[in-house]
Amino acid sequence: GESVGLHLPTLSVQEGDNSIINCAYSNSASDYFIWYKQESGKGPQFIIDIRSNMDKRQGQRVTVLLNKTVKHLSLQIAATQPGDSAVYFCAEKREEQTGANNLFFGTGTRLTVIP
């Protein structure tokens, strides 16, 4: 299954399928990106990050792809499991302010895994 983030905030996939969650960012000065997973009633949990000098990074069952040309970020989850059901946010760190490390969050995509 695939989402386009802001235009399709809900994504439903069958257990065992791969999921792709997309995120468009706005600031070309952003140099660091993070994907967070947020389960109901909990704080965001770090999943994976990527710096702007990379275009791909892999973790355990997750891969983040960065396309700086079109300012697009995606999170791929392999063999999606029921425990992956959550809201996923991309966040960017912008470099334009010296000393500033605050993150700018996207709207989020709700992933629902169907057993």
Partner 1 sequence: NAGVMQNPRHLVRRRGQEARLRCSPMKGHSHVYWYRQLPEEGLKFMVYLQKENIIDESGMPKERFSAEFPKEGPSILRIQQVVRGDSAAYFCASSPPSQRSYEQYFGPGTRLTVT
Judged by the rule CB under 8 A, the positions of this chain that interact with partner 1 are: 32, 34, 36, 42-46, 49, 89, 91, 93, 97, 99-108
CB of 99 to partner 1, least distance (A): 6
Query: Is the CB of residue 10 less than 8 Å from the CB of residue 21?
Result: no
Which CB, 13 or 34, lies closer to partner 1? 34
Which CB, 12 or 14, lies closer to partner 1? 12
CB of 115 to partner 1, least distance (A): 24
Which CB, 48 or 78, lies closer to partner 1? 48
Dihedral of alpha carbons 49, 51, 55, 59, sign: negative
